[in-house]
Every structure is written in structure tokens, then in C-alpha cells.
């Protein structure tokens, strides 16, 4: 006889684990199902940022000059696979359309209703899970090598402060090097986003949330999400399980499931890479730092200094092509005294993206008991706990912390 649950959550990343916790807290009996242990896929590899400042999601280049620049496919911050472009073209055209400034501003106003809660919801969940030692509270830094870029980013930061109350601090070269004395002297200044948080080990944070989920009575099972069948059944290593409802929170693999049920959600992935490095004796990095002009970020992690790359546009399942990592590594070594690589090979992950840059959060319109929670792009870590809370409130009929309408899958007329 199949084991029965109130809800089956498909996906053991930061989003799925957070949903599991919030549903258990609200009295639901939940099974969390994934093919691997929690936090082993997309949630493992990121910059570890909880981006309170990230109210404007990453837009597609709009000007002719920018498009021609990226078309050369030599940029450090964005590369593409030429053979994937025909397949990705419909998505990219819609992405370009939504990136028009007035549309982008409207998207930001909706996005901000989630982002504004990201730090508080992580703090609450980390405290409940006994994982506060994994959070860093000093914000993160955007570094500049030219005055023009610094002035441009300062205008953007000031706009976010005026519109959304996002705090920041502008640092000149002396102020920056007082905070980070081991950075290269070639950096002329920085912005420090003071209300953002950082995580020293993103996978460990997901593990902590998953253990808390189990302590609340939730079950973690290894299973195949693609076996999902109404109403609702999934195959696991412990046999068939059943649930009154199901939440699809599979990140870049979500479309494998939703398409089975004839939901044609516009969806693509942005691939990215990371590598860990040792450092020279005595050198320390205190904040995650983004080298804006060179398109990479380095962050202090439990394993070492993590170097993360920019965007690679390609198909989800094609082999790794870590050319960006090789291209930015010399600049990263010039910025900070990195030594040997610590990983056997570069890690690669895929960020699940929608063309309007907003996640999909809410019920499936044609299948009772099916819910969606995916498409968080680069803000999966940032938005995991607030997504969990919003889904928990919607599924239990509670008052919601924000208006869920902008995140409905029905905006795509599926």
C-alpha cells in the first residue's frame, strides 16, 4: 500500500526545502522528493548572496552597441553556444522585450514585494534550524576599475534606495582597502550593499533547513519526479507514495514535469561555473566581491575562495564548456592572491529563468492540487524561504505576505 502524505514537494534545493518547512509548520504532512540529497544540485553552486538589493532582476541588453558587443561572444561576463541560439531565440526575444526600461521597472515593483522579505525570512528559518552561524551580516561589494562604471552603478543604487529603501555605502579607494586590504590596488572604489547577507556554505544551509524539516516530522525520499501522475503519485526508492497535493520546485528540471501536464511555460536556463581556490598565507577576503567590469565574483566559503562566472547561454544538458572560468581566472588572481585550484573539475549549474524575470509561484490552473514554485533565476538562494512562506500561506488559505498575482503561471496564458 502506498504511503500517503498531505503534500509531495518535488525538489530538494533551497526552494523545495523551504516549502517543506513552511508546510510542516502549518500542520501538513510532507514528503520532499529528489533524485539526490537536499542541496546537491543547483543550490550547491552559487555566490552565497541573499540579495536584498536585487530588486531589478538581470535584464537583457537593449542597445545596438551592447548587442553587437555580446554577439562577438568574447565577453567575460556572458557567453553563448551558437548551436543553441535557434532553440533559445523565442525565449530570448521575449526576454529582450520585457527588458525595455518601463517594463523592467514594472517588473521590479512586483519583484520587490518578494525581495524585501528575503533577509527576514532567511533569518527566521536559520534561527529555527540552528544555522545562524552560516550567515554573514556585513553585506557584499561591487568593485569598480573605472570612474564611469562607478558613477553608473551609483546612480542605479541611489534609484533603488529612493524607490525601494535599499541601503548602500559608497566607498572610495581608501575606504575599500580599509575593508579589504588584500585586494588589488587597481580597484578605485566600491559599493557595499549593507542590508544584504552572505552564506559561508550554501549547501550546508540547505542541509540545515532539510534537517529542520525532518525534525518537524517531514520525510525526505529519493525518487523520480518524472513519474508524477495524478492525483498525486510518485515513485521513490521506498515505493510508491501518494499526496493530496504536489508542488513542483525542481529548478531547471521543472519543465520536464510541467510539460507532461501540457503547461507550456516559456523557460530557459542560464548556465554558470564555479571553482574553489586556496589563498596566499595571511591573505583574507571578508566579503563577497563582484568585479563588475570583468564579470566574475569571488566569495569566502567554507571550502576556500569560490570564483563564480557570469552567464553562459546554452541548453541545459549539453556538456560543460568552462571557457569563462579559464578566461576570468587571471583577472581574479590579479584582484586577490589566489593559489591552487581545490576542486578536481569546475562545477556547473543551471539557473531556471522566465522571460519576464519573475518566478512562477502558485497553483496550476487546470490540475487541482498541483502547485508551481520555480523560475527564480539567480535568486533561488535569496528567495527560497520567502517562496516557501508564500506557498505555505496560499496552500493553507492563510493571508499572504504579499500579492501572489504577479507570479501566477497564468500570466503566460498556459
pLDDT tens track for 99-150: 999 999 999 999 999 999 999 999 999 999 999 999 999 999 999 999 999 9
Whole-number pLDDT of residue 353 = 98
Cα–Cα distance for residue pair 98/100, rounded to 1 Å: 6
| Residues 325, 307 contacting (CB under 8 angstroms) | yes
* pLDDT tens string 14-50: 999 999 999 999 999 999 999 999 999 999 999 999 9
DSSP H helices in 84-136: 85-98, 101-115, 118-129
For the full predicted model, state whether its pTM sits above 0.85.
Answer: yes
How does strand 239-248 pair with strand 3-10?
Answer: parallel
Cα–Cα distance for residue pair 350/313, rounded to 1 Å: 10
Q: CA 13 from chain center: how many Å?
A: 10
Set out the domains of the chain in order of their start, with CATH numbers.
3-46+118-134+202-264+356-412 (3.50.50.60), 68-99+139-197+268-353 (3.30.9.10)
Q: Is the peptide bond before 412 cis (omega within 30 degrees of 0)?
A: no
| Residues 84, 315 contacting (CB under 8 angstroms) | yes
* pLDDT tens string 333-386: 999 999 999 999 999 999 999 999 999 999 999 999 999 999 999 999 999 999
* pLDDT tens string 216-257: 999 999 999 999 999 899 999 999 999 999 999 999 999 999
Cα–Cα–Cα angle for 42, 402, 26, nearest 5°?
A: 75
Asked whether the predicted pLDDT for residue 1 surpasses 80, the reply is: no
DSSP string, 203-266: HHHHHHHHHHHHHTT-EEEEEEEEEEETTTEEEETTEEEEEEEEEE--GGGHHHHHGGGT----
| Residues 373, 123 contacting (CB under 8 angstroms) | no
Of all residues in the chain, the percent with pLDDT exceeding 90 is: 98
* pLDDT tens string 147-181: 999 999 999 999 998 999 999 999 999 999 999 99
Enumerate residues 6+ apart whose C-beta is below 8 A from 240.
Answer: 2, 3, 233, 234
DSSP 8-state code for residue 370: E
Whole-number pLDDT of residue 17 = 98
Mean pLDDT across the stretch 309-325?
A: 96
Give burial (CB, 10 Å; 0-12/13-18/19+) of 33: buried
Whole-number pLDDT of residue 93 = 97
Amino acid at each position: 500500500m502506498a504511503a500517503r502524505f498531505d503534500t509531495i514537494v518535488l525538489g530538494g534545493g533551497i526552494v523545495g526545502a523551504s516549502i517543506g518547512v513552511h508546510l510542516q509548520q502549518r500542520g501538513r504532512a510532507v514528503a520532499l522528493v529528489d533524485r539526490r540529497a537536499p542541496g546537491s544540485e543547483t543550490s550547491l553552486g552559487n555566490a552565497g548572496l541573499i540579495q536584498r538589493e536585487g530588486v531589478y532582476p538581470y535584464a537583457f541588453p537593449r542597445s545596438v552597441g551592447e548587442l553587437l558587443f555580446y554577439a562577438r561572444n568574447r565577453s567575460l561576463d556572458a557567453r553563448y553556444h551558437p548551436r543553441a541560439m535557434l532553440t533559445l531565440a523565442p525565449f530570448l526575444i521575449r526576454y529582450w522585450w520585457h527588458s525595455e526600461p518601463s517594463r523592467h521597472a514594472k517588473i521590479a515593483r512586483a519583484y520587490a514585494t518578494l525581495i524585501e522579505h528575503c533577509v527576514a525570512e532567511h533569518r527566521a528559518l536559520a534561527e529555527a534550524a540552528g544555522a545562524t552561524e552560516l550567515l554573514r551580516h556585513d553585506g557584499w561589494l561591487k568593485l569598480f576599475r573605472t570612474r564611469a562604471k562607478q558613477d553608473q552603478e551609483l546612480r542605479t543604487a541611489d534609484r533603488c534606495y529612493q524607490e525601494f529603501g535599499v541601503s548602500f555605502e559608497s566607498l572610495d579607494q581608501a575606504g575599500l582597502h580599509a575593508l579589504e586590504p588584500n585586494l588589488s590596488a587597481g580597484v578605485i572604489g566600491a559599493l557595499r550593499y549593507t542590508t544584504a547577507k552572505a552564506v559561508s556554505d550554501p549547501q550546508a544551509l540547505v542541509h540545515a533547513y532539510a534537517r529542520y524539516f525532518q525534525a518537524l516530522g517531514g520525510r525526505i525520499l529519493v525518487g523520480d519526479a518524472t513519474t508524477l501522475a495524478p492525483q498525486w503519485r510518485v515513485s521513490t526508492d521506498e515505493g510508491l507514495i501518494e499526496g493530496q497535493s504536489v508542488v513542483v520546485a525542481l529548478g531547471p528540471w521543472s519543465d520536464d514535469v510541467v510539460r507532461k501536464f501540457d503547461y507550456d511555460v516559456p523557460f530557459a536556463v542560464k548556465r554558470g561555473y564555479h571553482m574553489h581556490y586556496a589563498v596566499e598565507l595571511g591573505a583574507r577576503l571578508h566579503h563577497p566581491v563582484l568585479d563588475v567590469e570583468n564579470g566574475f565574483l569571488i566569495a569566502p566559503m567554507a571550502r576556500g575562495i569560490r570564483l563564480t562566472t557570469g552567464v553562459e547561454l546554452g541548453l541545459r544538458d549539453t556538456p560543460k564548456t568552462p571557457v569563462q572560468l579559464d578566461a576570468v581566472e587571471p583577472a581574479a588572481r590579479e584582484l586577490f592572491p589566489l593559489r591552487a585550484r581545490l576542486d578536481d573539475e569546475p562545477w556547473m549549474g543551471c539557473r531556471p529563468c522566465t522571460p519576464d524575470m519573475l518566478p512562477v509561484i502558485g497553483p496550476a490552473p487546470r490540475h487541482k492540487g498541483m502547485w508551481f514554485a520555480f523560475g527564480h533565476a539567480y535568486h533561488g538562494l535569496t528567495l527560497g524561504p520567502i517562496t516557501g512562506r508564500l506557498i505555505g500561506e496560499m496552500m493553507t488559505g492563510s493571508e499572504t505576505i504579499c500579492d501572489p498575482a504577479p507570479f501566477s503561471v497564468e500570466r503566460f496564458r498556459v
